[in-house]
Amino acid sequence: EKGGYDSFMLKEIYEQPQAVRDTMGARIDRENKRVILPELKMSDAELATYDRIYIVACGTSMHAGLVGKDIIEKWTRVPVEVAVASEFRYRDPIYTDKTLMIVISQSGETADTLAALREAKKSNVKVLAITNVVGSSVAREADEVIFTWAGPEVAVASTKAYTSQVVALYLFGLYLAQVKGTLAAAEVATIVEHLETIPGKIASMLEDAEQVRRFAESTKGINSLFFIGRGLDYAVSLEGSLKLKEISYIHSEAYPAGELKHGTLALIEDNVPVVALATQPDIYEKTVSNIVEVKARGAHVLGFATEGDYDLAKTVDEVIYMPATLPMLTPILTVIPLQLLAYYASVARGLDVDKPRNLAKSVTVE
Ligand code: F6R
């Protein structure tokens, strides 16, 4: 059932090109290069009225939501707030009749996410769910559902569900932009064309995991690791850090690169590993200057750069190159080596990759 892989997690990492392709599936109108979401029951006119969005989820699903926030705001100019479900359910959120709530849950059974959904519905807020399980509580109780078609995810650490959720958010963001008219048809077409090349790019990244494996092995004796990045790179860093903690038990933190000097830089000393993501052109120089700061304190830096950027190599100790795509789509590629890093760090320590201590696949109690 592991299909020749020695763990479900590795199998699921390698299933990502398919999971992402299936989630795009029939939702891309290839002829007209636009997005269609036939599953939405509400009219386009209604969808266009929403002027504020809450994205509520837990863990990795919340991290997908952070990527979603940036893309929805950029493409539609609708303000989006991302909240952790266990916090949100006890808040007194500010709703108007133009507020849309998006809940994201792989299992569709996470207690806090479900409770947040129920609270919103009590206040008559429209709830759109992004979930991977047909017939789950979240799918049944939400007003609208966009399914991710990742297939069953067995490993406790979520991988293909995350990339599929990010795709679902891209599709929703594009659809909302079409409906609101905030992106020109030609802009949508360009993004759609790039989206369609993503599964192939993930596949090519999965072909050669050797460099990540070696870096992961080098972390065997260390007990702390940092991830830094800005903007979308920061959002993905959070996911990389969670994955690593979860299955390798290495303490790690993800920091917005510019925030380091406000405290965390004190922890950087000789040979502390830092994974630095520098894939976003508009803030590239700023990130590089933060990398220089950690290098000056002796950090061992693994940089993530976009193919064609051969400058970063001059600043960091080693570089992993992401296939070139639109900067907004990079998160779905950047996360792949981060998943592999967590995986190989766990394997190097002889741990049970699929069943990390203290954790359950589906958190159905508060
Ligand atoms: C981490 C992980 C968890 C889940 C979280 C939410 O790898 O899997 O953080 O993402 O428990 O679960 P779902 O998406 O099922 O609501």
- Which atom of ligand 1 is least distant from the CA of 58? 6
pLDDT at 106 over 90: yes
Percent share of the chain, pLDDT over 90:
94
pLDDT interval class at 119 (50, 70, 90):
very high
pLDDT given at position 365 = 86
pLDDT given at position 34 = 98
More confidently predicted of 104 and 1: 104
- Between the CA of 162 and the centroid of ligand 1 the distance, in Å, is 9
What is the arrangement of strands in the sheet containing 144-147, beginning at the earlier edge strand?
Answer: 80-84, 52-57, 99-105, 126-131, 144-147
- Which candidate, 314, 306, 266, places its Cα nearest to that of 283? 306
For residue 204, give the DSSP letter.
H
- Which atom of ligand 1 is least distant from the CA of 159? 7
- Between the CA of 41 and the centroid of ligand 1 the distance, in Å, is 27
pLDDT given at position 52 = 98
pLDDT at 1 over 90: no
Mean pLDDT for the chain overall: 96
pLDDT at 223 over 90: no
For residues 308-333, average pLDDT: 96
For residues 347-354, average pLDDT: 94
pLDDT digit string, tens, across residues 49-82: 999 999 999 999 999 999 999 999 999 999 999 9
- Which atom of ligand 1 is least distant from the CA of 107? 15
pLDDT at 221 over 90: no
pLDDT at 238 over 90: yes
- Between the CA of 139 and the centroid of ligand 1 the distance, in Å, is 16
* Contact between residue 145 and residue 139 where contact means Cβ atoms under 8 Å apart: yes
pLDDT digit string, tens, across residues 79-98: 999 999 999 999 999 999 99
pLDDT interval class at 304 (50, 70, 90):
very high
| CB-count exposure of residue 93 (10 Å: 0-12, 13-18, 19+) | middle
Helix (H) or strand (E) segment spanning residue 333: helix 331-348
For residue 177, give the DSSP letter.
H
pTM, rounded to two decimals: 0.97
For residues 41-46, average pLDDT: 98
- Which atom of ligand 1 is least distant from the CA of 63? 10
- Choose one of 9, 13, 55, 60 to mutate for the ligand 1 pocket test, by most ligand atoms within 8 angstroms of C-beta: 60
pLDDT digit string, tens, across residues 182-196: 999 999 999 999 999
What torsion, rounded to 10 degrees, do the Cα atoms 362, 363, 365, 366 define? -160
Catalytic: 98? Answer: no
Tokens 């596949």 correspond to what residue? 203
**Ligand 1 pocket: which residues have CB below 6 Å?**
58-61, 105-107, 110, 113, 157-158, 242, 246, 362-363
pLDDT digit string, tens, across residues 239-290: 999 999 999 999 999 999 999 999 999 999 999 999 999 999 999 999 999 9
pLDDT interval class at 42 (50, 70, 90):
very high
pLDDT at 362 over 90: no
Selecting among 33, 74, 355, 361, the annotated active-site residue is: 361
- Between the CA of 243 and the centroid of ligand 1 the distance, in Å, is 11
